[in-house]
Amino acid sequence: MPKVARISGTDHRGRKLALLAAVAFIAPCVAYAQNRYNTGKPDFVNFSTFMAQTAAARSDDFSGKEGVRVRDAAAFEEMKAHLLGLYRGVHVRHSFIDGGNTVDCVPIDEQPALRGASDAEKQEARHLSNPVSPPRLPESGRAGPGKPQDLDIALPRGKKDAFGNAIFCQKGTVPLRRITLGNMVRFPTLNEFLHVGKVDDGSLDRRSERKPGDAAPHYYARGLQFVDNLGADAWLNVWNPTVIEEHEESLSQLWVVGGDGKAKQTVEAGWQVLPSKWGSKQAVLFTYFTADSYDKTGCYNSECTDGFVLVANNIYPARGFDHYSVASGLQWGFNLQWQRNPNGNWWLYYKGPGAYIPVGYYKKSIFGTGALATAASKVAFAGEASKVPLALQIGSGSLAAGGWQKAAFVKTAFYIDRSSKGQWASLSRQEVVHDCYTTDIHNIFGDWGTYLFFGGPKCDITP
């Protein structure tokens, strides 16, 4: 008979420990593989494990998976290199799950937009300007159409996620939504991931010149003013419009614009529904910039090394809201303000029920010698949607004539003049296409200041 090898008690225990160690390593990898396509309810993966998984990932891991649109292996490798570069050298202090987001608390100086920055640039993250207050209203005695509610998007102290992690970041760190390859491969290329939904405005006016495969142009229902300025402010009413496809958008935002044509530069912020980007059909807070009319520069939030510099430890772009407006019911929203400070950086402030909170800024340096290195020349407020020839809702889905508790709105819209004083906006209508999406503008009227209703249910310009 052949001899049967015996396993000693010590060897048995050793193999058991080795097996348990292997399971402990493999389990989060399996969970990651199962959940990287489902950003709605992610499992918790610590940052070091996430980085190891990302470094080891191959394009074949994603091939044939639902929702994956990455063009080819080369496009995948470009995404992977961007992601590893974005997080290389970052020492995450703490991570948590917030809604559908994994959020990492990153030391303020290690965030992508301050990587390799000089000491002077890093110090700038603490050089705040005071928010500019709205100008005094004329003594009209007129009340606005209604009384909306202020949204508080700040992270709550004392709360924990389902894994026991505190949903908060300590001082000295900032909360960054973790970007994964699972997020990125929902787009054909890295460029489309960074710029999805962004094209030069007015593109529908040139739709006869468009070629198949061009990025989808946009519809607008907004008010705008051409005026030299150092920023703008408005209260934005929040809804959850429906879009046709997950990579199309509907939004309400505050635009500050300088330059024309290919030299156009913008800083933008507001709320946006863009399912493929945010992993949700609900509106989230976002920021965006371009330094060359949406060509090669620009990205959302802090998703590139020239992106948004976050300074708040309790607010982060890509976060959803606790409440959304309801037709014939409560109306919710918040204030945003863009302001160019004396050092030339473009600061964003958020105001909910309390005081303005400095969220962060775009560095002057990213605008080079362009217009926004000095000042802006246009402000715009209200709504936008993409997808041609057919698009769905802007705002609530109601036309502007629906008014209070039906149509979406923007109120107390003002700009900051060259002497850093607030001036009520005097807006002109921009409707593209005007019989699909509409605006109803009221310049400097009652205790809502300058305001406008906007929106519409759908548009179809099929010939």
DSSP per residue, 185-207: TTSSSHHHHHHTT---TTGGGGG
Higher pLDDT, 318 or 198: 318
CA distance 295 to 387: 19
298 neighbors 288 (Cβ within 8 angstroms): yes
Residue 47 in domain:
no
**Is residue 145, in this structure, part of any structural domain at all?**
yes
Q: How far apart are CA 344 and CA 130, in angstroms?
A: 14
For residue 95, is it within any domain? no
pLDDT tens, 227-279?
999 999 999 999 999 999 999 999 999 999 999 999 999 999 999 999 999 99
**Total tally of structural domains belonging to the chain:** 1
Residue 94 within any structural domain of the chain = no
Q: At residue 12, does pLDDT exceed 90?
A: no
Encoded amino acid at 245, one letter: E
In a domain, 72, yes or no: no
Q: How far apart, in whole angstroms, are the C-alpha atoms of residue 278 and residue 181?
A: 13
d(CA 340, CA 364): 9
CB half-sphere exposure, 154, CA atoms < 13 A: 19
| pLDDT on residue 81 | 98
Q: What is the pLDDT of residue 126?
A: 67
Please tell me what DSSP assigns to residue 3. P
pLDDT in tens, 339-387: 999 989 999 999 999 999 999 999 999 999 999 999 999 999 999 999 8
Find, among 136, 175, 134, 103, the residue nearest to 351 by Cα: 134
Give the count of beta carbons closer than 10 Å to the beta carbon of residue 3.
Answer: 5
Q: Can you tell me the mean pLDDT for 203-207?
A: 39
Q: Is residue 329 part of a domain?
A: yes
> Cα separation of 263 and 253, whole Å?
21
Distances (CA, A) of 428 to 46, 339, 340, 431, 436: 50, 22, 24, 10, 18
Q: State the average pLDDT for the chain.
A: 87
Hey, what amino acid is at 338? W
What residues have CB less than 8 Å from 180, skipping those under 6 apart?
36, 50, 54, 83, 102
Query: Does residue 37 fall inside a structural domain?
Result: no
Give this prediction's pTM: 0.88
Percent of the chain predicted with pLDDT > 70: 86
CA separation (Å) from 424 to 129, 232, 321, 442, 445?
20, 10, 28, 11, 10
CA-based nearest residue to 180, from 332, 53, 355: 53
User: What residue type is assigned to position 308 of the chain?
Assistant: F
Whose structure tokens read 């509106």? 283
Instruction: Say whether pLDDT at 158 is over 90.
Output: yes
Residue for token pair 């912020």: 269
Confidence of residue 122 (pLDDT cuts 50, 70, 90): confident
- Say how far apart CA 93 and CA 71 lie, in whole Å: 35
SS3 labels along 378-446? EEEEEEEEECCCEECCECCCCCHHHCCCCCEEEEEEEEECCCCCEEECCCEEEEECCCCCEEEEECCCH
- Choose between 202 and 403: higher pLDDT: 403
Q: Domain of 410?
A: 119-206+217-460
